[in-house]
Every structure is written in structure tokens, then in C-alpha cells.
């Protein structure tokens, strides 16, 4: 499929980045018909463990883990090149949930020995932890309130935990004296119950209930827990935005291709100006999104200030969630009847945009947060 | 067939109460706000109950067994149904074939087919589109070749809504290959149990088998099943499209979506948010104002007048409003926008993802909105091209 993005025309990549991108492009090129996506839909755990291992072998799981902790020690710009391709290929793995959200929580764990024990297992692909932080629909708040830890026992419910059915352990935030602490909880610990909701993209969200569940090791003390989570969440918001960029880019490529192939009234429908204008509007959406992803990657790679990162994360998540949904739904329109079938792959992109657009905060939630964080001066 | 009751004589409130009370008493609770188009096995009994009551065809004239409602009463009828979550039945006999036959059918065809629609004996589907003939419908290739007092039909229809539930199909076939494409098309009524017909369901984006492909392999159809004469199908179909577009231009679906949005917003507490209230109200007025436009067009029909291509404006407004309503539902649902199950509300579960996906094709079928805009540009504005 022809790459219609402006990247090759106007952006510069380092030699190393070209290699990263090429290997990610090659990785998704193996499944052009999205057979793996379809094979894993609506069956637990909703992702492919074999693919996960291959991704581990490619080294991508350790991108954001420092070299001295056993990782690759690369940056967000580098990672985004992989994420864009995973988005384009709709690769059914919990990359952002595990290799960004959970991994970046673990890289901030208090105890170096614990980090040294857990991170290599995650990076190697043998151990998949799922982070359970959220306690209410549409909440962006990293402070735990509902799930409480008393005397080493957890009580309460977490929601919208992605792909938890295949997790080997949970990282759970819990309220206790002094703030929000983070604990490791074994997958089969007593008192843990999972209730699954089928997502439209074929994966699952879990609601996880803890009833007198003994916690494992403490990863982060209550004084730092909320801040650690907030930082990891903003990094994950950036990462999922890059994935959404891949989703929207490929949806547009497929649609443009279709406009050239499909003939009605003895002409390719791409010759009709109404459709040309629509396609161009979508192209602009995707390139503005790409610009914001690039800008945010640079900021994350160069600036550790939590507030500036939060503003940038909300900006990029709002843009990419919005643009991916717009492109996804207009792509259906451009396809006509065939676009409204399960058989056609274009619909899979719309569904992925629906899921990722809402996860970790929708466009409107992030616009509201952006306003909260930035309007102070303006008022 | 003649219905004796003149509902238009009732005052609006009395009529609303009458319809509401009957719906509440008779519509099956478990079918309220169905998440997708219902199949016959789910709603057949309800269809027959409506038929028995004489309420299957609110818009048809009373002399043909309809309720003969004027535009105002039609809107009230619709609003009551949508607020109660009365699901749509396989209704193409009522919305399409019936009105067409009333206008263009022979006396025998009216006498034979109309009562069978009203009795629920004939369930119709629409066989126009083909893989190569969607927006460019006139390029259709399914052929009907005359053989004595039969036609022999061969070809392939697609996107046929609820074909698996229907026992009759009204279709466009090619009876002539010379001259303008539009001039060689014939309108044909075909029983689906005729040998040589195969129906293959297609799964839609909502994971539901709502439409199908229909294959015709040497299917013999009596010549008497032609409506409006051989090679007149295009004219007939255009007249029918008028009915289809006024139906999909009615505020019915947007009204339903609005009720669902309301239930959802109550459940998640969004009516406390002034920004939401403003957006909700804008959409509400988009639907209300559509009602005003719809009344104006239906009044033309009731006066016996002719509605031209202008009616496309209703379809564009209605479908795009409905889509915006479901988009706001997605926004209101947070992460639940990405699951099939949706959100529990006082009026039962609301499934924003299903509503959003289900509203996508309204801008594709019945003549895509792009094509409607092309038509309006020429027919209403007289633009060249
Ligand atoms: C849910 C659903 C139910 C349906 N039910 C039925 C049914 O019961 N019976 C039946 O016969 N058909 C049915 N259809 C088919 C429907 O009528 C066609 O999908 C529609 O006519 C569009 O044709 P197409 O799908 O081939 O798309 P195409 O015609 O290929 O259109 C693809 C895109 O090109 C655009 N386009 C095409 N021509 C132009 C132009 N000149 N200018 C600008 N843009 C243009 C379209 O707007 C669309 O965006 C149904 C479709 C759907 C989705």
C-alpha cells in the first residue's frame, strides 16, 4: 500500500530511526490481510502471545527502559515509529498497556532490586503485567480512592483494564495512609475476580474486583504513587496517540486506494470532486495529527517537567482521538456499502479508533484537562 | 380493507394518548429499544398484532387499509413509538411497495398484494443494488429475458436488507441492452421461493446479519409480475425513491437517537454540564426543525401533489443529524464507547457503540448523501454539470 504521508517528503529520520521504521514496516507487512487480527477477535485473551514474543525478540518492549536496567534506552520519537506501524497493522498485542504504561510504572519503582527482577522479564516477553489504575468511567484521576489497601489486603474494583485476560500479574494502585501506593498482585491471588466486556475491536476490557486480596510486593510507596502513575499515564497517552496515528494513516491509505479502484458512472469514484475534497480534508487531519505527534515526541524526549508533559499529552491525545474517529467514519462513507460489512478490513480501523480514542481519556476529556491546565493565565 | 376510524379527527393530545396507551399495553417489553434491526422470528408476532389493529401502515390512505394520518398525526405516531422504543419491523412492504402499487400498480396487483402486506403474509425486500451498480444504479446487469409468458432472470443483487426474512422481493432487472441505460430497466415482483434463488447473509459492521446477497439462476417469473410495463422500471423506481426518501427523511431515526442520548446523559449525569446541555439542545432543535420541514413535504403528498428531488434535503438533514447524535453518545460514554455492551440506564441499556455504528450507513443507502447533494445542486439550484 502506498505511503501517502508527508514523512518522506518533509521529515528527517536518523539512520537508526530508518532501521527501526523499516523493521516495523516489515513486521506488519507479513499480515497484509489482517488475518491475525481476525483470528484473535472476540476470543480470550484478545491478543496473540506468539506475536508478543516476536515483538520481544525485535527488542521493542525495552525501548523505554534505560540500558542500565536491561532495556534499550531509546526515546519516544524512536518508539513512535514502531507504534505507528503497529497501529497501521492493527497488531493484536497490548503494546501500550504493557510496554509503556506498565513498563514505565515499573521503571519508576522504588526498589532497584525489584526493578532488576521484573523489567527483564517484561522486556523478554515472558511476563505480561497489566496495570489496574482506573476506578470510574471517563476518569483521568490517578489518585486511588475506591480500591483501598489495609493491612496488606486489597478491597475494591478497578475498571477498563485492557487485555487483562492474558495478564500474568496486576499492578494495582490503592489508597492507603499517605496517598496512593502501587502493588504487585499475582494473577491467581485469592479474592480476585475478573468480569470482561467485549470491545468492538475484538479485545476485552476487564473489571477487576479485589475482595480481601493479599498484596504482593509494594512497587511504589504511597507518597509517590499518584505522581508515578500520572507520569506513566501521560507517556501512555502519547504512545496511544502514535498508535492512533498509524490507525488513521492506514485507514486513509486504504480509502484513497479504493477511490482509485472503484468505478461508478464509468469513472473511478476518486474523480468526483466531492470525494476528492473529503479525502483531502482527511489527509490534512492526519498530517496535523502527525505534526503534533512529532512535536510531543520531541518534548517528551527533551523535557521531564510533569506539567508541560501533561499539557502536551492532552493536546496530542485530543487531536489523535478526534482525527482517527473522523477518518475512520468517513472512510466507511467513502467505501459505500462494502464499508459497512464485517468482511471489509476498513471497518476494523474505525473500531480500533473507537476503542483507542476513548481509552486513557477521550478527546473531550483531554480538551477539558488541557483547559484546566492552561487557562489559568488567560482568565 | 377500508378502515373506518378517522384518526385525523381526534385532537392531538387524545391521539397521542390513544397511541401511547395501546403501545404500552401491547408492545412486548423485551423488544423495547432493540439494539439492532429485528428479524422476523423476533418481531413477527408484533407485526401481526399491529396488522390486526390496523396500524401497520400509518401513512397509507384509509381506503387501502392504512390509517390515513396527516403529517402532524404521523409525527405524533412516530414520536410515541420512538419514545417507547418500538423497534422497526421488516417494513419495506409498508414503506415502499405499498405506496408504489397504490400509485402505479394495476387494479389486480393492488387487490392481490396490498392486503397481503397488511396481513403480514408478504414480507418484502428491495433488490436494486448490485456489486457493480450502487450509486450508478442504472448500470445494473441482472437480466430478465422473455420466454413466453415468463421472464428468465439471471444475476446477483447485494446489500438486500433482511432478505433472509422476506418471502417477496421487488427488483429492477435489465430487459433491454440497447439505448440509454435507464430505458432498458423493468420493475419486477418476485416470490423468493421461486426455484433458482439463493440468499446468502452478509455480516454488517455491527456484527449482525442484517443484509444479504441474492443470486438468481434461471429464475422464471410470470410477466404479470411487472409493475408499470416493460422498460418503464426506471421511472417507477424513481417514483418509489421519493417515498423511500421521505421515509428516511422523516425524523423517526433521529428522534429515537435523541431519546437514547437522553437516557444515557441522565445515567451518567451529563445534564449538570452546561456545555453538554448546549450541545444536546442544538441537536434537539435540529430534530425539531426537521419535523417542521417534514410536515411541509408530507402536506404536499396529502394534497395529492408531487414531491420532486427537493425531498433529498430531508434525507441529508435527518441522517447527518442522527449521526451527530450518536457521535455525542460516544463522547458521553467515555471508555464504554469502545464496548458492545454499553451503559446501564433507567430505560434499559444504551449501547453507544452500536448506535454509532448503526447510524453510519444512513448516509450511504437510499442514495448516498454525496449523490443527493449532486441532485440538489442541479434540481434545486439549477447549477450546471
Ligand atoms: C445498511 C445498508 C442497507 C442497504 N439496503 C439495501 C436494500 O435493501 N436494497 C438495495 O437494493 N440496496 C440496499 N443498500 C445498498 C445501497 O443503496 C448502496 O450501498 C448505495 O446505493 C451506494 O452504492 P455502493 O454501496 O455501491 O457505493 P458506491 O456507489 O460505490 O459509492 C462509494 C462512494 O462513492 C460516492 N459516490 C458515488 N458516486 C458519486 C458521485 N457521482 N459523486 C460523488 N460521490 C459519489 C458515494 O457517495 C460513496 O461515498 C443498502 C446499503 C446499506 C449500507
Q: Of the candidates A314, A275, A371, which has an alpha carbon nearest to the alpha carbon of residue A140?
A: A314
B54: left (phi over 0), alpha (psi -120 to 50) or beta: left
**Can you tell me the mean pLDDT for A326-337?**
98
Q: Do A354 and B204 touch (CB under 8 A)?
A: no
Residue A379 is predicted with a pLDDT of 60
Residue position matching grid coordinates 396500524: B55
A199 vs B: CB within 8 A:
yes
Tell me the whole-structure pTM to 2 decimals: 0.97
- What are the sequence ranges of the domains in chain B? 7-89, 124-231, 249-379
Residue B255 is predicted with a pLDDT of 93
A161: left (phi over 0), alpha (psi -120 to 50) or beta: beta
DSSP state of B66: S
C-alpha B134 – ligand 1 centre gap (Å): 5
Residue B2 is predicted with a pLDDT of 62
Residue B71 is predicted with a pLDDT of 82
**pLDDT tens-digit readout, A105-120:** 999 999 999 999 999 9
- What are the sequence ranges of the domains in chain A? 2-123, 129-222, 225-375
A270 vs B: CB within 8 A:
no
Q: Is it true that domain B124-231 has CATH number 2.40.110.10?
A: yes
CATH number at A225-375:
1.20.140.10
Residue A51 is predicted with a pLDDT of 96
Residue B86 is predicted with a pLDDT of 94
Residue A377 is predicted with a pLDDT of 61
Pocket test for ligand 1, best of A267, A274, A277, A337 (most atoms within 8 A of CB): A337
Distance from CA of B369 to the nearest CA of A (A): 9
**pLDDT at B1 exceeding the cut of 60:** no
**pLDDT tens-digit readout, B346-372:** 999 999 999 999 999 999 998 999 999
**pLDDT tens-digit readout, B62-103:** 999 999 998 889 889 988 999 999 999 999 999 899 989 998
Residue A354 is predicted with a pLDDT of 98
Task: Point out the residue among B202, B334, B339 whose CB comes nearest to the CB of A199.
Answer: B339
CATH number at A129-222:
2.40.110.10
**Can you tell me the mean pLDDT for A241-259?**
98
A367, three cell numbers = 480538551
**pLDDT tens-digit readout, A155-192:** 999 999 999 999 999 999 999 999 999 999 999 999 99
Percent pLDDT > 90 in chain A is 97
C-alpha B232 – ligand 1 centre gap (Å): 22
The torsion of the CA quartet B253, B255, B260, B263, rounded to 10 degrees, works out to: -170
Query: What's the CATH architecture for B249-379?
Result: Up-down Bundle (1.20)
B207 vs A: CB within 8 A:
yes
Residue position matching grid coordinates 483547559: A371
Distances (CA, A) of B133 to A60, B157, B234, B385: 47, 9, 14, 22
Report the distance separating Cα B58 and Cα B75, nearest Å: 10
Q: Is it true that domain A2-123 has CATH number 3.40.50.970?
A: no
Q: Phi/psi at B147 (nearest 5 deg)? A: -145, 95
| Helix H or strand E segment including A182 | strand A179-186
Q: Do A199 and B360 touch (CB under 8 A)?
A: no
Q: Ligand 1 in contact with A273 (CB < 6 A)?
A: no
Q: Of the candidates A349, A329, A343, which has an alpha carbon nearest to the alpha carbon of residue B212?
A: A343
Three-state DSSP class for residue B126: strand
**pLDDT at A331 exceeding the cut of 60:** yes
**Can you tell me the mean pLDDT for A322-346?**
98
**Can you tell me the mean pLDDT for A284-307?**
97
C-alpha B314 – ligand 1 centre gap (Å): 18
Q: Of the candidates B186, B198, B247, B251, which has an alpha carbon nearest to the alpha carbon of residue B222?
A: B186
Amino acid at each position: 500500500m502506498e505511503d501517502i504521508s508527508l514523512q518522506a517528503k518533509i521529515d528527517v529520520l536518523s539512520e537508526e530511526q530508518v532501521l527501526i521504521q523499516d523493521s516495523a514496516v516489515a513486521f506488519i507487512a507479513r499480515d497484509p490481510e489482517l488475518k491475525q487480527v481476525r483470528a484473535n477477535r472476540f476470543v480470550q485473551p484478545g491478543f496473540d502471545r506468539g506475536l508478543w514474543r516476536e515483538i520481544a525478540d525485535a527488542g521493542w518492549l525495552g525501548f523505554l527502559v534505560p540500558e542500565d536496567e536491561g532495556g534499550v534506552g531509546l526515546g519516544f520519537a524512536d518508539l513512535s515509529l514502531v507504534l505507528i506501524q503497529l497501529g497501521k497493522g492493527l497488531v493484536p498485542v497490548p503494546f501500550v498497556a504493557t510496554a509503556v504504561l506498565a513498563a514505565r510504572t515499573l521503571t519508576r519503582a522504588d526498589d532497584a532490586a525489584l526493578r532488576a527482577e521484573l523489567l527483564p522479564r517484561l522486556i523478554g516477553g515472558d511476563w505480561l503485567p497489566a496495570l489496574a489504575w482506573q476506578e470510574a468511567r471517563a476518569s483521568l484521576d490517578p489518585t486511588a480512592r475506591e480500591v483501598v489497601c489495609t493491612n496488606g489486603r486489597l478491597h475494591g474494583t478497578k475498571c477498563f483494564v485492557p487485555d487483562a485476560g492474558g495478564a500474568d500479574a496486576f499492578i494495582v494502585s490503592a489508597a492507603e495512609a499517605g496517598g496512593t501506593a502501587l502493588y504487585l498482585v499475582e494473577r491467581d491471588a485469592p479474592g480476585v475476580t475478573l468480569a470482561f466486556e467485549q470491545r468492538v475491536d475484538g479485545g476485552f476490557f476487564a473489571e477487576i474486583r479485589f475482595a480481601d486480596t493479599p498484596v504482593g510486593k509494594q512497587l511504589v510507596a504511597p507518597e509517590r504513587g499518584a505522581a508515578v502513575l500520572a507520569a506513566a499515564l501521560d507517556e501512555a497517552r502519547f504512545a496511544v496517540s502514535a498508535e492512533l496515528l498509524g490507525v488513521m494513516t492506514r485507514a486513509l491509505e486504504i480509502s484513497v486506494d479504493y477511490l482509485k479502484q472503484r468505478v461508478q458512472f464509468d469513472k473511478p469514484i476518486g474523480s468526483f470532486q466531492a470525494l476528492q475534497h473529503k479525502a483531502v480534508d482527511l489527509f490534512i487531519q492526519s498530517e496535523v495529527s502527525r505534526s503534533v505527534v512529532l512535536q510531543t515526541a520531541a518534548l517528551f524526549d527533551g523535557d521531564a517537567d510533569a506539567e508541560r508533559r501533561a499539557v502536551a499529552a492532552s493536546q496530542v491525545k485530543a487531536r489523535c482521538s478526534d482525527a482517527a474517529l473522523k477518518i475512520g467514519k468517513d472512510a466507511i462513507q467513502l467505501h459505500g456499502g462494502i464499508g459497512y460489512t464485517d468482511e471489509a478490513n476498513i471497518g476494523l480501523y474505525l473500531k480500533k479508533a473507537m476503542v483507542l480514542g476513548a481509552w486513557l481519556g477521550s478527546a473531550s476529556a483531554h480538551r477539558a484537562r488541557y483547559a484546566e491546565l492552561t487557562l489559568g493565565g488567560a482568565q | 380493507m377500508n378502515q373506518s376510524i378517522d384518526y385525523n379527527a381526534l385532537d392531538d393530545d387524545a391521539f397521542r394518548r390513544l397511541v401511547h396507551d395501546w403501545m404500552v399495553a401491547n408492545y412486548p417489553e423485551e423488544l423495547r429499544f432493540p439494539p439492532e434491526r429485528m428479524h422476523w422470528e423476533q418481531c413477527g408476532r408484533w407485526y401481526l398484532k399491529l396488522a390486526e389493529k390496523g396500524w401497520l401502515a400509518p401513512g397509507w390512505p384509509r381506503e387501502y387499509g392504512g390509517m390515513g394520518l396527516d403529517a402532524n398525526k404521523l409525527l405524533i405516531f412516530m414520536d410515541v413509538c420512538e419514545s417507547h422504543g418500538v423497534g422497526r419491523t421488516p417494513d419495506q412492504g409498508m414503506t415502499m411497495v405499498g405506496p408504489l402499487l397504490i400509485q402505479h400498480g394495476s387494479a389486480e396487483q393492488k387487490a392481490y398484494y396490498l392486503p397481503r402486506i397488511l396481513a403480514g403474509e408478504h414480507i418484502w425486500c428491495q433488490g436494486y443494488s448490485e456489486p457493480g451498480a450502487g450509486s450508478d444504479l442504472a448500470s445494473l446487469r441482472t437480466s430478465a429475458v422473455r420466454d413466453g409468458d415468463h421472464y428468465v432472470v439471471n444475476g446477483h443483487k447485494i446489500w438486500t436488507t433482511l432478505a433472509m426474512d422476506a418471502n417477496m422481493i421487488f427488483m429492477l432487472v435489465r430487459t433491454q441492452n440497447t439505448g440509454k441505460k435507464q430505458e432498458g430497466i423493468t420493475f419486477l415482483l418476485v416470490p423468493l421461493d421461486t426455484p433458482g434463488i439463493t440468499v446468502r447473509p452478509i455480516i454488517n459492521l455491527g456484527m449482525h446479519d442484517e443484509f444479504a446477497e441474492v443470486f438468481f439462476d434461471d429464475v422464471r417469473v410470470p410477466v404479470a409480475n411487472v409493475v408499470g410495463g416493460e422498460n418503464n422500471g426506471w421511472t417507477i423506481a424513481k417514483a418509489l425513491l421519493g417515498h423511500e426518501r421521505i421515509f428516511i427523511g422523516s425524523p423517526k431515526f433521529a428522534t429515537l437517537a435523541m431519546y437514547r442520548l437522553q437516557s444515557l446523559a441522565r445515567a451518567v449525569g451529563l445534564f449538570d454540564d452546561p456545555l453538554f446541555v448546549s450541545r444536546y439542545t442544538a441537536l434537539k432543535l435540529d430534530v425539531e426543525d426537521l419535523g417542521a420541514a417534514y410536515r411541509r413535504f408530507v402536506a404536499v403528498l396529502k394534497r395529492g401533489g408531487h414531491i420532486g428531488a427537493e425531498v433529498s434535503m430531508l434525507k441529508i438533514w435527518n441522517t447527518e443529524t442522527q449521526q451527530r447524535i450518536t457521535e455525542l453518545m460516544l463522547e458521553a460514554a467515555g471508555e464504554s464507547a469502545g464496548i458492545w455492551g454499553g451503559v446501564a440506564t433507567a430505560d434499559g441499556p444504551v449501547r453507544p457503540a452500536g448506535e454509532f455504528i448503526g447510524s453510519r450507513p444512513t448516509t450511504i443507502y437510499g442514495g448516498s448523501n454525496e449523490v443527493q447533494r449532486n441532485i440538489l445542486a442541479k434540481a434545486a439550484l439549477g447549477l450546471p454539470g
